[in-house]
Chains A and B, each alone.
Chain A
């Protein structure tokens, strides 16, 4: 009487166990890597098959670059806000707007220079073939000309008003 139900339950247990074992084993390496390195660097270690020595060096470069990047981000935000304020008050391209646009372009040039320096440093820390691949990939991701990345990112009016003077 109980045997049919025992078989039914056993089948479900087998199915669930098979699922759990395969899922856990398939994702274990990724989870370990992410825990050890954090999501930002997990990809670079995995994608470019870095050994521990190379990865440690890249990790140091990354940590050193982060504050530089944060400062640049803040300066870009400030410049964009300044430009946004001027555009909200103007109906024409004033000399002041031209000046701020020039400063924004100069700032973008500085940021891209710092970023490229970092990319080259990271690529030199990799095996040569992987370094070339890394540079090509980062170039496509960050410097390939698109319409959107040629324009400064101006916050919209609603955001601007919320942030106050």
Chain B
């Protein structure tokens, strides 16, 4: 009995909905605006930084890679320190030499 009533009201509702028409016009360039917003959303989801982070997190979990990374940075740091120290002392010696010659030579 209750089911019959329910089916009847569904059909009535469906009939009313089929006859419903939207008369209000869409704002100008509505579709274009929608597509633009979708495009911007896609751009936001793709980021180089996020990709790099993801790549790093995946690769550094391998112990061999982590060890190689640490060793490489240590070697680079030590080599740069040696090279810059060598350059500094060479430049310093040249300055000392010039200072000595200037100090003892009347000009």
List the interface of chain A (C-beta within 8 A of B): 3-4, 7-8, 10-12, 14-27, 30, 34, 39-44, 46-47, 62, 65-66, 69, 72-73, 76, 111, 114-115, 118-119, 138, 141-142, 153
Q: Which of B60, B101, B105 contacts A4 (CB 8 A)?
A: B60
Mark out the residues of chain B between 42 and 84 whose CB falls within 8 Å of any chain A CB in the assembled complex.
56-57, 60-61, 66, 69-70, 72-78, 80-82, 84
The 4 closest A-B pairs by CB, nearest first: A26-B85, A22-B81, A18-B77, A43-B96
B residues near A25, Cβ cutoff 8 Å: 85
Given contacts A39-B100, A118-B104, could you give 15 more A-B pairs where the C-beta distance is less than 8 Å? A7-B66, A10-B70, A17-B77, A18-B73, A19-B78, A21-B81, A26-B86, A26-B88, A34-B96, A40-B103, A47-B93, A76-B106, A76-B107, A115-B104, A141-B101
Q: How far is the CB of B91 from chain A (nearest CB, A)?
A: 10
The docked-state distance in angstroms from the alpha carbon of A32 to that of B78 is 22
The size bracket of the interface on B is 35 or more
Q: Within 8 Å of chain A (Cβ to Cβ): is B95? A: yes
A18 touches B74 (CB 8 A): yes
Given contacts A7-B66, A22-B82, A27-B85, A15 and B74 within 8 Å (CB-CB)? yes
A residues near B74, Cβ cutoff 8 Å: 14-15, 18
Q: Is the interface of A mostly helix, strand, loop or mixed?
A: helix
The docked-state distance in angstroms from the alpha carbon of A3 to that of B56 is 11
Given contacts A19-B81, A40-B96, A43-B99, A142 and B105 within 8 Å (CB-CB)? yes
B107 touches A22 (CB 8 A): no
B residues near A141, Cβ cutoff 8 Å: 101, 105
The docked-state distance in angstroms from the alpha carbon of A72 to that of B107 is 8
B107 touches A23 (CB 8 A): no
A118 to chain B: closest residue by CB: B104
Q: How far is the CB of B92 from chain A (nearest CB, A)?
A: 5
B residues near A40, Cβ cutoff 8 Å: 96, 99-100, 103
Q: How far is the CB of A21 from chain B (nearest CB, A)?
A: 7
Q: Which of B76, B86, B99, B107 contacts A39 (CB 8 A)?
A: B99
A–B complex contacts, Cβ < 8 Å, 17 sampled: A3-B60, A4-B57, A7-B69, A19-B77, A21-B78, A23-B81, A23-B82, A23-B88, A25-B85, A27-B89, A30-B89, A34-B96, A69-B105, A73-B106, A119-B104, A138-B104, A142-B105
B75 to chain A: closest residue by CB: A18
